[in-house]
Amino acid sequence: MSEPVLEITDIRKRYGTTVALDGVSLTVEAGEVFGLLGPNGAGKTTLLSIAAGLTRADGGSVKLFGKPFTRDDLAARHLIGMGTQDLSIYPDLTARENLRFFGKLYGLRGARLGSRVEDVLAAVGLTERADDRAGTFSGGMKRRLNLAAAIVHEPKLLFLDEPTTGVDPQSRNHIFERVKALNAAGLTVIYTSHYLEEVQALCKRIAVIDNGRVRASDTLRGLLSRLDTTIRVTAANAPGDLRQRLEAIPGVKRVGEPNPPTPFPKKEGGERPPELGDVLPAREAATPPNAFSPSPSGGGGWGVGSSQPLTFELVVDEIGPVLAKVASACAATGAELVSVTTREPTLERVFLHLTGRELRD
């Protein structure tokens, strides 16, 4: 097994009384796109700056391609490309002049420099605007030029910090596809973004950092497995053994106690809008609350065996193989399906689960 491209061990960094990083350890393997996620102020940019040799850590160590790495190691720093969140390009220079400047910083000269500049201009779709000042570019064009500046010297490891922030959909898609192409050619990439669907599509391994600490580091599948995949079934005329029949379906892990479907809760000033995961049975809005027969237990309550709808939440391995069997189980017992909703784990749900829902400024 080859040496990891990057090994970060117990990195710590403090700015005055603020702890930016509190013992962060990560390993990035050759040829992967590694996702780094976290709320604003979590420490992501500080960590990338230390790993790229731009900032000194207060403690801990960094290894690059199996060797100890410090910000004074200029030869090793030439192996790294850095696409910063804040644009690094010079607005008064043309696109070509920007790339020649950055290429020279990394030691490129002569025909080799000229060739690389033209190659990356073509790669990011800026050949026709090569001699225009960068300050006249749109936000998407500036982001693409920023990426070109990070790869002009053909690095072995690329850091991309929010590479698609504030760009139009076409430029965002172009950058996304360019990153995939670079990785397919063998470039190792560390990718941070607030667009979690990008990270979910690009990265096989992801670390979530918050308050300067790693909250989780795993494969995408491993992170998603932290949350349940569920099917919520609402049925009327549910017999007493419907829950047992649902539990017996292959692929069903467990079934929660049946509960009556509830409308969206109200708040002062009117009803709130629906949120992710809310369930409103299709017939509830059109049917008066007392239209169904009371349960045998009396009192008009919700009871198994009542025509009043009941909601069962099934935790399942996979949704597809279970859905048809749920319908069959209900039909076999005479239960009437009112609604079926599904909810699969997403990276966004895992992220909020690990970091909370409070606003970060």
The residues spanned by each domain of the chain are 6-224, 228-263+304-344
C-alpha distance across the termini of the chain, in Å: 42
Which residues lie closer than 8 Å to 225 by C-beta, 6 or more apart? 345
* DSSP string computed for 126-181: -GGGTTSBGGGS-HHHHHHHHHHHHHTT--SEEEEESTTTT--HHHHHHHHHHHHH
* DSSP string computed for 9-36: EEEEEEETTEEEEEEEEEEE-TT-EEEE
Q: Are 26 and 8 in contact (CB under 8 A)?
A: yes
* Nearest of 89, 105, 79 to residue 5 by alpha carbon: 79
Burial of 55 (0-12, 13-18, 19+ CB in 10 A): middle
Bridge partners for 255 per DSSP: 314
Fold type of domain 6-224? Rossmann fold (3.40.50)
Q: What angle do CA 251, 277, 360 make, to 5 degrees?
A: 120
* Nearest of 270, 292, 268, 293 to residue 281 by alpha carbon: 292
CATH class given for the domain over 228-263+304-344: alpha beta
Reduced to 3 states (helix: H, G, I; strand: E, B; else coil), residue 337 is: strand
Phi, psi of 23 (to 5 degrees): 85, 55
d(CA 203, CA 233): 33
Q: Are 182 and 191 in contact (CB under 8 A)?
A: no
* Nearest of 63, 44, 46 to residue 55 by alpha carbon: 46
Which residues lie closer than 8 Å to 353 by C-beta, 6 or more apart? 226, 227
User: How many residues appear in the chain?
Assistant: 361
Q: What is the pTM of this model?
A: 0.77
CA atoms within 13 A on the CB side of 13: 24
Residue 74: the pLDDT is 85
Q: Alpha carbon of 248 to those of 243, 326, 327: distances in Å?
A: 9, 10, 13
Structure tokens at 108: 């490129």
Per-residue pLDDT of the chain in tens (361 residues, 90 and over written 9): 567 999 999 999 999 999 999 999 999 999 999 999 999 889 999 999 999 999 999 999 999 999 999 888 888 989 999 998 888 899 999 999 999 999 999 999 999 999 999 999 999 999 999 999 999 999 999 999 999 999 999 999 999 999 998 888 898 899 999 999 999 999 999 999 888 989 999 999 999 999 999 999 999 999 999 999 999 999 998 888 999 999 999 999 999 888 866 544 444 444 444 444 444 444 333 333 333 333 343 333 344 455 688 999 999 988 988 999 999 999 999 999 899 999 988 899 999 999 987 666 5
* Nearest of 27, 40, 141, 17 to residue 89 by alpha carbon: 141
